[in-house]
Amino acid sequence: MADTPEAIRKSVRTYMFVGAVLFVGTIVTVLVATVPAFDVGEHGFDKWDCILGLTIATIKASLVAFIFMHLNHEKKAVYWLFGSGLCMVCSLAGLTALAMYSPIFDKYFFSGH
């Protein structure tokens, strides 16, 4: 638990470190997107840029959630409560996107735009 003064003093350094990682992550994402030399995959935006960008974003978001929001040492109940939201949002985003995989949308989906 980070509730004792000792533990809090210790974790302040972690917070600094995580903050720095977040800054670096942001810079990497921007470099990949804007500087041609760092471009991944095809020339210009493509699925690899998308995957890389979202992966870095997910890592950053996880750092915020686990370190800043203390999910790394939180009670089990919180995982259930917040997890329920995450679970349902996957259902919403996943299934609506899946509904696009139908003949009437194929033209757009596979056209590469």
- Residues near other proteins (CB under 8 A): 3, 5, 8-9, 11-12, 15-16, 18-19, 22-23, 26, 29-30, 33-34, 42-45, 49-50, 53-54, 56-57, 60-61, 64-65, 68-69, 75, 77-78, 81-82, 84-86, 88-89, 91-93, 95-105, 108-109, 113
CB of 64 vs other proteins, minimal distance in Å: 5
Q: How far apart are the first and last CA of the chain?
A: 49
The DSSP secondary-structure symbol of 71 reads: G
CB of 72 vs other proteins, minimal distance in Å: 13
Cβ proximity to other proteins, 72 vs 108, nearer residue: 108
State the Cα–Cα distance between residues 64 and 31, nearest whole angstrom: 22
18 Cβ neighbours under 8 A, 6+ residues apart: 63, 64, 67, 68
The DSSP secondary-structure symbol of 64 reads: I
